[in-house]
A and B are shown apart, each in its own frame.
Chain A
Amino acid sequence: MKEILFFLTTVCFVVLSCTKEKTDYEAEIDTVVPEYKEFKEAYAINSDGYKISIEALNGTFYTGYNEVRLEITDSQTNEKVNVSAVTFLPIRTNVDKRNVSCPHRYDLIDKPDDGYFSGYAVFTDRSDADGSWELYISFTIADQIHTAKQDISVHEQANKNMNMAMFEGKDDEQYFIALVSPQKPKVGENELVAGIYRFNKPNNPPSSDFPDASQFSYTEVSDYTLQLDPRMPEPSMGNHSSPNNKDLTQRSDGLYHGMVNYTMTGNWTLNFILLNQQGQILRGTLVPTDFTPGVEGVKSELHIDILF
C-alpha cells in the first residue's frame, strides 16, 4: 500500500510540475537595473577646522547626473555651523593639462530644514588615465571665505537609464541632456525626468586665480521642449513604439519632466528633438514611425539608449 501511495504521489508531482518554468519577472528587472536611493558620504574634507561632508547616492560619483549634498560641520564639536555662499565646481584635468568642467550647480542651495546644501554635477567622463576630477568648494563663515579641494573618482554609470548625451546645437552652443529619473523603469508609464544644460562660452580670458568660475559656467536652459519618441531599436522589434508618451517640459525644479511608456522590458532608445523657446530645432531628427520588422530602428541624431 505504501509503495502504491508513494508511486501515486510521485506520478502526481511529475504530472503537475510545469515543463517550463515561469519567468520571474520581478526578479529579472531587479538584476538588470541597480537602483540607489540612499545618500552616503562619498568624501570628507577637513579644512580650516571644518569638516565638509560630500554625499552622493550610494556614496559614489557616476558619469551622468549626480545629485550632491554638502554638509559643513565644526570638526571639533561636530556641530552645524552657520555657513553661507557655498560654491561647488568640478574640474577635470586632462592629460594634456587642459581643464574642463561639466554641467553643475555652482551656487549650492541651502536646505536648512534638511541640514545640507544641495547641488548636482553631470560628469561627462569617468576618472581614468586620460584625466581626473577635482572638486573646488568655497564657503563663507562669519564673513570669512574658506576654500577646499578634493580629488574625486568618477565611475562609469552602469545603469543605462541614467545615461546622458552631449552635443552641439544648431545655434553653435554646447548642450547636455542627462537622465535623472527613473533609475529603474518599469513596464507601463514612467515619469521621465532630465536635466538640459548649456555651456556658457566665456567672454573674458581666464583670470590668474585658478579656478576661474566664469570659465566653467553652465546654465539650466529654460522653457525649451524636449520632444520624445521612444522605440525599440532591435531588428526583431521592427521599430516598435508605445502610446501615450509626453514631451518633456520644464518644471519649477529646473528639470524637464515628461512621460514615457515602455510596453515591454528590453532595449529602448529615447529619440529626442530639442526645441528652444522659439520652437526652433537645436538638435534631433524625426524617426520613421513605420513598423519594419527585421530592420534595425533608425535613431534620431539626438537619442539616449536605455535598457531594463
Chain B
Amino acid sequence: MKNISFSFLFLFLGIHVNAQHTHVQNDTTKRLEEVAITAIAKRKIETEMKMAVSVDEFLASSDHISFIKRGAYAWEPLLNNMSTERSTITIDGMHVFGACTDKMDPVTSYVESNNLSTIDITSGQGGNMHGATVAGSIDLKRKSTPFGLDKKWNGAYQTGFESNNKQFFNLGNLSYSGDKFVADGSISFRKAGNYYDGNNDEVNHSQYNKFNTAVGLAYKTSPLSSIRVDAIYDKAKDVGFPALPMDLWLSRAFITSASYKQLFEDGLLRAWDTKIYFNAIEHYMDDTKRPENLVHMDMPGWSTTYGLVSRANLRNGDCSSEIQLNVYNNLSIAEMTMYPQDRSKKTMFAYSWPWVTTRFAGISMNNSWDISAMSRLNFGGSLGWNYNHSKYVEFNWIFHPGTPQEKDRILPGLHASYQLHVNQFDFSIGTGYGHRAPSVSEGYGYYIYNSFDRYDYIGNPDLKNEVSYEANASAGFKSKKMGIEAKVNYFYIQNYIVGRILSLGSPMNYQSVGVKGYTSLNHARLFNTTLHANYDILQHLHWNGTLMYARATDDKDGNLPFIRPLSYQTSLYYMHRQFGIRASVNGDLTQEHYSPEYGEDLTPAYMVFNMSADYTFSFRNYKAVLQIGAENLFNEYYSTYADWGNIPRMGRNVFTSLKFNF
C-alpha cells in the first residue's frame, strides 16, 4: 500500500478506488477472456416490470435518476436531482455532447438498450473518473463479447408492441466469439405514434422514430492484448416534443472509437486500456408543424468531439487503484435563422452557440484500500484543465462587453469514503469536493429559448466555477430473507448557476416573455435520500419497496426547480417455474416545494399501478420469453413535477414483447 501511495503522491493528494467500481481480477488476467476489465456483476438492461425497455426507462429504475420529460422520447436524466450540466454522461468513458440548445438530445438518446451491457451510475465526486462533475457520472457501457466463448455465435431478437402509442420495435443483436477475433453487432428500429393521456386525449406531437445500429470488432494481438474498434450510428427522425414549441426533424449521431488493451500477469500494473474516439452529432429542429408558430426559425446544431481516454489499473496487496486520463475537444455550433414575412428578403441570423470550443484534459484516480476484511477506505481525486473559446465572441459581447474570447479553468476534485461491514450490517460514510466549469449554454449560449419559464437565456462567459461540497452516508442490513438500506447525500454548492431575469435587452424568440442571464447564486443546497427494502414473503413471492425524497434550496431559502417530492415505488413479484407475475405501484406526493420563480406550479399527487406477466419457454435450441403487461393500469391522468410544461403522462399502456436468445 505504502509503495503505491508514495509512487503516486506526486500526482495526487491521495489514492483511492471506488468500491462499487472495478477491480482487476487476478485470475482473469492470465487469459484475456473478457474484454471488459470490469468484473462486477452487470445489471441487465431491463427493469423489474418490463424486459424490453428503452434506455430511458431503464435509467428511470435507478434511485439516483429522475427525468425531465419533454415528450415520449429523449428524456433528460437528472442525477441527484441535478440537470445534465452537473453530471458527466459518457459512453464507455467517451465524452459525447448533444447538439441541441433545447436539450432534446441527451447523450442517452444516442444509444439503444440492445447495444448496452449496463449503465454505471456513480453519485457525486466518486464519479469524477471521467472528468469534472458535481452530481456524479453516468457511464453507458457498450456490449463487448469475451474472446473464446464455448458458444461461438450468440444472438437475440426482440420484438414488441405497445398499445398506447402504437409503438412497434424490433431489436436484434448478434455476436461472434472466436479465439482471436470477436464481433458484436446490433440493429434496432422503433416507431411510435402519438400517445394518449389518462383522459384518452391524444397528446399531439409525441411520435418518434429511431434507428440505431452498432458494430464492434476486436482482435487479440497477443494472449494479453487486444485491439478493438467500435461504431454506433443513431438516427432519430420526425420526433415530436409536445412540451416544446418545436419538434425534431432529424438528429444523427456517429460515435466511433478505437482502443488498445494490454493486461499484465504480474507486477503493479495489471491492465492498461487506451482509446481514441471521435463522434459527430447533427441536430435539426422543425417548428413548421405547429400552427401556433406564426414565425418560423431554422435552428440547426452540430457537436463534434474527439478525444482520448487512457486508463490503468494497479493492484498491490490490499490496495487497488485506477488512474484515468481524459482528454477531449468539442466544438458546439448552433444557429438561428429567422425569416421575414416576405421570405425572399434578407433573413435574420444569429448563433445560439457561436462556435464554442471546449477542451478538457484531466487526470483522475480512484484508490481502494481493504483495511481489513470488514472495512475499506476509498479515496481519490481528479485535476482537470478546462478551456473555452468562442469564435464569434461578438455575440457574447452584447451582454458581456469586452469579455475575453478564451477562458481557462482549473477543476480540482477530491473524495473519500469509508465502508464498514459488520455481520449483516453495512455502513458507509463519505465526503467530496469538486469544481465544474459552466456548460456551453451557460457560458456562451445566446438567446436560447426555454419554453418552461418562457425566457430567452444568455450565457455568461465570466461565470465562476461551481464548487461542490458533498457528504454522503448509507446504512444497510441484509439477511437471507430481507434487506433494507438507507442512503442520504447532501450537496452544498457554491456559485450555483441559474438563470436570473435581466433588466437589459429584449426577447428574440417568438414566444418568449423576457431575457434571463446565467448568474451564480451564492450557494444552493441539495439533499437526497432513499430508503430501499426487500423481503421474500414466500419462496416464490418477493416484495420490494423504495421511498425517495429530495429537497433543494437556493441562497435565499427559495426552492430550486425539478426537485423530486416524496416518491414511492413498491412491487410484488411472484415467480414459479416458467411463469413470472409482477405488480407494482409508484407515485409522488404533492410537490409542495415547487419554484414559481423558475416557472413551476404545484404538481398534485398521483399513483400509478402496473402489472406484467411473463412466460419462459424453449423450443429446439432457442430460449424465448414472452411478456405481456400494462402500465398505468387504471388510466390515471397525471403529470409529474419534472414534466416540462405539465404535459400529461401516458395513460394506460398495454405492452407485449417476445425475446429469443440463440
A residues with a Cβ closer than 8 A to B are 15-16, 18-20, 22-23, 25, 28, 32, 186-189, 232, 234-244, 261, 263-267, 289, 291, 293-294, 307
A residues in contact with B425, CB < 8 Å: none
Interface contact A267-B349, CB-CB below 8 Å = no
Interface contact B346-A266, CB-CB below 8 Å = yes
Q: Which residue of B lies closest to A262 (CB)?
A: B398
Interface contact A188-B335, CB-CB below 8 Å = no
Q: Evaluate whether A241 and B346 lie within 8 angstroms (CB atoms) in the complex, with A188-B398, A294-B295 already known.
A: no
Q: Which residue of A lies closest to B402 (CB)?
A: A189
Please, what's the 1-or-0 string for B383-421, where 1 marks a CB less than 8 Å from any CB in chain A? Answer: 000000000101101110100000000000000000000
In the assembled complex, the CB of A299 is this many whole angstroms from the nearest CB of chain B, namely 16
Interface contact B295-A293, CB-CB below 8 Å = yes
B residues in contact with A32, CB < 8 Å: 346
B28 interface residue (CB < 8 Å to A): no
Which B residues from 244 to 264 make CB contacts under 8 A with A?
250, 252, 254
Q: Evaluate whether A265 and B350 lie within 8 angstroms (CB atoms) in the complex, with A23-B337, A234-B341 already known.
A: yes
Interface contact A237-B349, CB-CB below 8 Å = no
B residues in contact with A188, CB < 8 Å: 394-395, 397-398
A243 to B511, CA, bound (A): 20
B300 interface residue (CB < 8 Å to A): yes
- 26 residue pairs from A and B, CB less than 8 Å apart: A15-B252, A15-B254, A16-B280, A20-B284, A20-B300, A28-B349, A188-B395, A188-B398, A234-B341, A234-B348, A236-B294, A237-B508, A242-B505, A243-B399, A244-B398, A261-B398, A264-B336, A264-B338, A264-B508, A267-B340, A291-B512, A293-B294, A293-B511, A294-B295, A294-B510, A307-B346
A18 to B301, CA, bound (A): 10
A263 to B336, CA, bound (A): 12
A307 to B345, CA, bound (A): 11
Contacts A237-B348, A266-B340 supplied; 11 other A-B pairs, CB < 8 Å: A18-B282, A187-B392, A189-B397, A234-B338, A235-B295, A236-B341, A244-B504, A289-B506, A291-B512, A293-B510, A294-B510
Interface contact B338-A237, CB-CB below 8 Å = yes
Q: Which residue of A lies closest to B338 (CB)?
A: A236
In the assembled complex, the CB of A60 is this many whole angstroms from the nearest CB of chain B, namely 24
B447 interface residue (CB < 8 Å to A): yes
B507 interface residue (CB < 8 Å to A): yes
What is the total number of residues of chain B having a CB less than 8 Å from a CB of chain A? 45
B351 interface residue (CB < 8 Å to A): yes
B residues in contact with A267, CB < 8 Å: 340, 345-346, 348
A281 to B397, CA, bound (A): 32
Most buried by B among A22, A187, A264, A294: A264
Interface contact A291-B507, CB-CB below 8 Å = yes
Which B residues from 319 to 361 make CB contacts under 8 A with A?
333, 335-341, 345-351
Q: Evaluate whether A294 and B447 lie within 8 angstroms (CB atoms) in the complex, with A238-B510, A242-B505, A307-B346 already known.
A: no
The list of the 8 closest CB pairs from A to B, nearest first, reads A266-B348, A188-B394, A264-B350, A243-B504, A236-B295, A243-B505, A241-B506, A265-B349
A residues in contact with B507, CB < 8 Å: 238, 240, 291
Interface contact B333-A22, CB-CB below 8 Å = yes
Q: Evaluate whether A187 and B340 lie within 8 angstroms (CB atoms) in the complex, with A236-B510, A239-B506, A240-B506 already known.
A: no
B residues in contact with A20, CB < 8 Å: 282, 284, 300
Q: Which residue of B lies closest to A265 (CB)?
A: B349
Interface contact A242-B349, CB-CB below 8 Å = no
B594 interface residue (CB < 8 Å to A): no
A267 to B338, CA, bound (A): 11
B residues in contact with A261, CB < 8 Å: 398
In the assembled complex, the CB of B226 is this many whole angstroms from the nearest CB of chain A, namely 21
B residues in contact with A237, CB < 8 Å: 338, 348, 508
Interface contact A19-B252, CB-CB below 8 Å = yes
Interface contact A25-B351, CB-CB below 8 Å = yes
In the assembled complex, the CB of B449 is this many whole angstroms from the nearest CB of chain A, namely 12
A242 to B507, CA, bound (A): 9
A residues in contact with B250, CB < 8 Å: 19
Interface contact A16-B338, CB-CB below 8 Å = no
A239 to B184, CA, bound (A): 56
A186 to B354, CA, bound (A): 14
In the assembled complex, the CB of B150 is this many whole angstroms from the nearest CB of chain A, namely 30
B residues in contact with A289, CB < 8 Å: 506
Q: Which residue of A lies closest to B254 (CB)?
A: A15
A residues in contact with B398, CB < 8 Å: 187-189, 242-244, 261, 263
A232 to B339, CA, bound (A): 12
B97 interface residue (CB < 8 Å to A): no
B residues in contact with A238, CB < 8 Å: 507, 510
A18 to B394, CA, bound (A): 26
A267 to B348, CA, bound (A): 7
B463 interface residue (CB < 8 Å to A): no
Q: Evaluate whether A23 and B349 lie within 8 angstroms (CB atoms) in the complex, with A16-B280, A187-B394, A242-B398 already known.
A: yes
A residues in contact with B224, CB < 8 Å: none
Interface contact A264-B401, CB-CB below 8 Å = no
A57 to B613, CA, bound (A): 83
Q: Evaluate whether A263 and B349 lie within 8 angstroms (CB atoms) in the complex, with A16-B280, A19-B284 already known.
A: no
B residues in contact with A239, CB < 8 Å: 506
A residues in contact with B67, CB < 8 Å: none
Which B residues from 295 to 329 make CB contacts under 8 A with A?
295, 300, 302
A14 to B333, CA, bound (A): 21
B residues in contact with A16, CB < 8 Å: 254, 280
Interface contact A25-B511, CB-CB below 8 Å = no
Most buried by A among B392, B394, B399, B502: B394
A28 to B351, CA, bound (A): 13
Q: Which residue of A lies closest to B399 (CB)?
A: A243
Interface contact A266-B512, CB-CB below 8 Å = no
A residues in contact with B341, CB < 8 Å: 234-236
A189 to B348, CA, bound (A): 17
Interface contact B282-A19, CB-CB below 8 Å = yes
Q: Evaluate whether A236 and B340 lie within 8 angstroms (CB atoms) in the complex, with A188-B394, A242-B398, A263-B508 already known.
A: yes
Most buried by A among B254, B333, B398: B398
B233 interface residue (CB < 8 Å to A): yes
Q: Evaluate whether A22 and B302 lie within 8 angstroms (CB atoms) in the complex, with A15-B254, A240-B508, A291-B512 already known.
A: yes
Q: Which residue of B lies closest to A296 (CB)?
A: B341
Q: Which residue of A lies closest to B280 (CB)?
A: A16
B475 interface residue (CB < 8 Å to A): no
A residues in contact with B294, CB < 8 Å: 236, 293-294
Interface contact A266-B506, CB-CB below 8 Å = no
Please, what's the 1-or-0 string for B486-511, where 1 marks a CB less than 8 Å from any CB in chain A? Answer: 00000000000000001011111011
B513 interface residue (CB < 8 Å to A): yes
